[in-house]
Chains A and B, each alone.
Chain A
């Protein structure tokens, strides 16, 4: 199975900050990497697919990059609604493993 490791596990930041979350795969997954945002009691939200393609309707302050084994999610200027937990997930092969999550909290 492909292991996905995110860092950091938690992050405190202020509105307006630029933040970056890293996701590493235990083997190459080419560009088959997705990012999701999850808030308590809500459905997870699909943000980015294929490492860098923005899902329709997702604000342009979200961006993704990377290939192979190392990927990043960047939020260019945090908005109050962005405080949530973020997960990376590989769709290269089953089982479609998720990272452990990065909880983004208000400083």
Chain B
């Protein structure tokens, strides 16, 4: 069974940085695009970013463009999200998700990691 385990969520100050990680097992990791999706408290799901299997192509929501960077290390089966210039509105549970084939079709998800941005 495919497993995705996120880590790195924490309390950060406005303007601060955090790096999230997601370790994926039981798949040939480099064959699949990966995404980050978040859910702010009391809100719905919001797509954040996607990276291709090779890492050569990346896509971002306008709300995080220029502040967040998605990357991957295929030798470690690990996905990353570097989050800089954090804002209160970035407070959310962040999920990593695997693409089924088409980049936006997210067939397996992790349990999420909580990021809180507050002074």
CA distance A70 to B47 in the complex (A): 21
- B74-109 interface bits toward A, Cβ cutoff 8 Å, 1 = contact, 0 = none: 000000000000000000000101001011111111
**Do A43 and B110 touch across chains, with their CB atoms under 8 A apart?**
yes
**Do B105 and A49 touch across chains, with their CB atoms under 8 A apart?**
yes
**Do A55 and B107 touch across chains, with their CB atoms under 8 A apart?**
yes
Q: Does more than half of chain A's interface fall in helix, strand or loop, or is it mixed?
A: loop
- What is the minimal beta-carbon distance from B35 to any residue of chain A, in angstroms? 8
Total contacting residues, chain B, CB less than 8 A: 25
A85 CB contacts on chain B under 8 angstroms: 44
- What is the minimal beta-carbon distance from A9 to any residue of chain B, in angstroms? 10
CA distance A92 to B103 in the complex (A): 9
CA distance A73 to B46 in the complex (A): 20
Question: Which residue from B45, B95, B100, B102 sits with its C-beta under 8 Å from A46?
Answer: B100
CA distance A12 to B104 in the complex (A): 30
Instruction: Decide yes or no whether A62 CB sits under 8 A from chain B.
Output: no
Interface size class of chain A, counting residues whose CB lies under 8 Å from the partner chain: 20 to 34
B95 CB contacts on chain A under 8 angstroms: 43-44
Closest B residue to A43 using CB positions: B109
Instruction: Decide yes or no whether A87 CB sits under 8 A from chain B.
Output: yes
Among A32, A34, A38, A43, find the residue whose CB has the most chain B CB atoms closer than 10 A.
A43
**Do A34 and B109 touch across chains, with their CB atoms under 8 A apart?**
no
Question: Which residue from A36, A42, A98, A99 sits with its C-beta under 8 Å from B111?
Answer: A42
Q: Which of A6-46 contact B (CB under 8 A)?
A: 32, 34, 36, 38, 42-46
A91 CB contacts on chain B under 8 angstroms: 102-105
**Do A44 and B102 touch across chains, with their CB atoms under 8 A apart?**
no
Binding site for B on A (CB under 8 A): 1, 32, 34, 36, 38, 42-46, 49-50, 55, 85, 87, 89-92, 94-101
Those 9 A-B pairs whose CB atoms lie nearest each other, nearest first: A91-B104, A96-B104, A43-B109, A96-B47, A101-B44, A46-B107, A98-B45, A94-B59, A49-B105
